[in-house]
Structure 1
Amino acid sequence: MKHAVLAALAALAVTACSSGGSGMGPSGPALPPPDMDGDMDGDIAAPDTSPCGATQMGYLVGQQVGEVDLDSLSGNIRLIYPDTAITEDYRPSRLNLDLAESGVILRPWCG
């Protein structure tokens, strides 16, 4: 009798711990996360949280500003060379490009 009770408790414990079903979620198999940027190569780009798009302009760092097609970049763009006086007004939609003396882009930022 004691063995039958232990066997029943063990069976109950095993069924309580099982996931119940075929390993599928409540509505079927789990789906992969959606592709946020729409391309089909499997890379998911982080959404751009900067109002001027600066987080997506990292590819410009290290390039000569003269070799970049600034007209292809949308919006208001300000080139900032060293020791250049700039206004202090903050415009979230303006893309600022910090440049080295040589014209190499050092940092894109909004403001």
Structure 2
Amino acid sequence: GAGGQHVNTTDSAVRITHVPTNTVVSCQNERSQHANKDTAMKMLRARLYEQEVQKRNAASQALEDTKSDIGWGHQIRSYVLDASRIKDLRTNIERSDCDKVLDGDIDEYLIASLKQGL
């Protein structure tokens, strides 16, 4: 007869490739090709979502890594007003006319900072 072992086999495996990311998923768990395709699409969606989450986490981590600690030693300028002077620690510019500097006369500090590339 027409029987034999081939009667009970199904050729229903599905492989899906997401071309932009070259992500490949395959499924052969179900007996029908339609069910395997649905399962494979769910698997692909889950993998793409996971990749996007990892990419965003890496981007936010990179942004966090670029931030420096904000503390007394990391401040750009130290204003020592009781000694009647203002000194920029990064450019070593020091002036004794505190009132002018606090009123906005900071060109000397800016020019020195630009020359040093700070």
TM-score (norm 1): 0.27
Higher helix share: 2
Rg (Cα) greater in structure: 2
TM-score (norm 2): 0.25
Higher strand share: 2
